[in-house]
Amino acid sequence: MLASADIIRCVVDAVAHRNLPLVVDPVMYFIPFRHRLLQSEAHRSLVTDLFPIALLITPNLPEASVLLDGRVIASVADMQQAAVDLMALGRSKFVLVKGGHLESDTVVDVLYDGESFDLFSSPRVHTTNTHGTGCTLAAAIAANYAKVADLKLAVRLAIRYVQSILHGSRDIKIGHGDNGPMLHWL
């Protein structure tokens, strides 16, 4: 997690000239408690410094809403428009708006490449062990992209991986509170 503008600029300075395929998960809040993790000047630096050198940004719906000045995102059509606007805002090569926060039995994630959309639909896994799904998905996309060099395939494989972990840990009581972590070794 990159919590301050100084840290973000340090990362940008270290990687910008290397042309690396960066996958950026803009972690901004600890959602269950609505605790802000990103300082306000870091928010600006994320958009102006890091997003432009990213291959992909992967905001969930609350993060996309914050990045788009509080816009309500309540449907797949809203997610598609958010992806278009996030790309214009941050100039990354791809945007994946993650739809896990929409209330539905099917989770839809929207990938936008600047011209067209790919929708990835998965059955919702009913579990409270969802802490870390966004970070895990971003890491799995990066790992799969390094392996297959095809972003759409990397996203599909990463979603399948996260789904399998959620399914495997769905009935296990982990940690304290209502939102446990996923069990990656299942």
| Annotation marks residue 130 as catalytic | yes
Catalytic member of 90, 100, 133, 136: 133
Q: Does the CA dihedral 22-27-100-66 come out positive or negative?
A: negative
Catalytic member of 99, 100, 134, 180: 134
Q: How far apart are CA 110 and CA 47, in angstroms?
A: 19
Catalytic member of 98, 99, 100, 136: 98
Per-residue burial over 148-173, b if 16 or more Cβ lie within 10 Å, else e, is eeebeebbbbbbebbbebbebbbeee
For every residue of 38-57, DSSP letters joined together read S-HHHHHHIIIIIGGGEEEE
Catalytic member of 10, 114, 135, 175: 135
| Annotation marks residue 98 as catalytic | yes
| Annotation marks residue 168 as catalytic | no
| Annotation marks residue 132 as catalytic | yes
| Annotation marks residue 136 as catalytic | no
Catalytic member of 132, 147, 152, 175: 132
| Annotation marks residue 134 as catalytic | yes
Catalytic member of 58, 100, 130, 136: 130
| Cβ–Cβ < 8 Å for 99, 110 | yes
Q: Which are the catalytic amino acids?
A: 98, 130, 132-135
